[in-house]
Structure 1
Amino acid sequence: MRTLLVAAPGLVLAGIGLTHPHHLDASTAQWWQNMHIILAVVFPLLGAAQWVLLGDSPKYVRYPARAAAFGYVVFYGALDALAGIGGGAMTLANGGRSPADEPLFRIGNQLGHVGAWCFFAASLAIAVCALLQNKVRAVPGAAFLVLGSFLFLDSHIYWPKGVLACTCIAIGLAATSYASASGRSPIEPSTRT
């Protein structure tokens, strides 16, 4: 069940990414705004998936990596609120883009960049710990997770790169969860929180 739950946010984001407009204008503003309201709920679930998988990590990795996952949720959420919801709302109100909305996109993108690097750092910690704990079983998950997180640094969820990034993240999180669960004996459940 954990494996399915950690994969779900990335898969949902990849699906929504197929509909993400490449340009914000009067014709796309309504979906842009509404889509980012939905994304405001889904994006944090990626950080929650990282938080769960970091439960298998040693404390000296778990705490800073969970701080990075929290940073992702906060800073990437700010991007979604400002450039996504706010930018869409301003474009709707103005009947198109205007110079007045540029500050929203500038600060939103800056905060989103910080959030994406936080996500990458937490993913790297998950991948390294999984490799150390589960050896060869963890290689596919670690590879997909690191690749997807790297692509996510500058792709958001736009087609095609962003959709590929989210798909790789979903596969990586699921495979890492599966490798971790299959590495435990049936009487040895994870007790870390």
Structure 2
Amino acid sequence: MRSLRTPRVMVLVTAPPLLLAAAGLVHPRHLTAATAGDWAGLHIALLPVFPLLVLGLLVPLWGRPRRGAEGALTVLAWAGCACFAAYYSGLDAVAGISAGTVVEHGFHGVAGRLFATGDALGRTGVYGLAVASLACCAVLWRRHGVRTLPGAVVLSAACWSFADSHIFWPRGVFTMLGFSVAFALLTAAAASGPAERVRVRAPQAPERLTNL
């Protein structure tokens, strides 16, 4: 896994959450007629960025064995990432682009329904990301042992916070920063090589005594 040591790979896994953190700094706190244009425009810009968050899980899994328990966990991680990419993009489109557009054109009463639908889509996406995170960490733990632990702990906290923080300042911004740190730690662990395993040698049978 020497390819995971390159700075370009670290940029690849940390750039999406860092971009989302930066977007959270300018994300309107509330959707109003005055902020509706910025609200919709920001979510249009972020539509291709949210799915890229899963790169932090997929990249450390490059080259993993695809058989047995590791194979099953890898497939589960891929499925969770696909769930997040699909359903969280739905949140972005419905509660972001659509809600911002209707409020900008004066249809305020529709926004509540759009937010309810978007929240349901977003929760499903975050649950998929949490499953993918657990599966990814399980694969890396089997391969790299305790070196996976720091990244797994930070990633678990970020997933828990993401469920209701989106990218809103302040907690959502720190959640995205948490993802960035977790992905960097997991990628570094995956680049460190397999964990050392202690081999226990079977006791040798005593030599047969002869010529007594």
Task: Give the structure-1-normalised TM-score.
Answer: 0.88
Partner of 1:59: 71
Q: Does 1:145 align with 2:152?
A: no
| Number of residue pairs the alignment of both structures matches | 182
The two structures, once aligned, show a CA RMSD in angstroms of 1.5
**Aligned partner of residue 154 in structure 1, secondary structure:** helix
Residue 89 of structure 1 pairs with residue 101 of structure 2: yes
Judge conservation of contact 2:151–2:183 (CA < 8 Å) in 1.
Answer: yes
What is residue 169 of structure 1 aligned with on the other side?
179
TM-score in terms of structure 2 length: 0.81
Choose the corresponding residue for 1:50, options 57, 72, 75.
57
What secondary structure, in the 3-state scheme, does the structure 1 residue paired with 2:48 have?
helix
Q: Aligned-pair distance for 1:83? A: 0.6
Where do residues 72-111 of structure 1 align in structure 2 (5 Å cutoff)?
A: 72-94=84-106, 98-111=108-121
Residues 108-133 of structure 1, C-alpha deviations (whole Å, 9 max, x = no match): 11111100111111112222322332
- Residue-by-residue CA offset, 1:8-56 (whole Å, 9 max, x unaligned): 1011111111111121001111111111011111101012332333333
Q: Say whether 1:36 aligns with 2:43.
A: yes
More helix by share: 1
Structure 1 stretches of at least 4 aligned residues deviating more than 6 Å after TM superposition: none
- Cα distance in 2, alignment partners of residues 99 and 122 from structure 1: 36
User: Larger C-alpha radius of gyration, 1 or 2?
Assistant: 2
Partner deviation per Cα, 1:40-76 (whole Å, 9 max, x = no partner): 1110101233233333362110112211110000000
Amino acid at match of 2:18: L
| Gapped regions of structure 2 (runs ≥ 5) | 1-7, 195-212
Instruction: Report if the CA contact (8 A) 2:59-2:187 is conserved.
Output: no
Q: What does residue 140 of structure 2 align with?
A: 130
The CA distance in 2 between the partners of 1:132 and 1:63, in whole Å, is 15
C-alpha separation in 2, matches of 1:128 and 1:150: 18
| One-letter code aligned to 1:122 | A
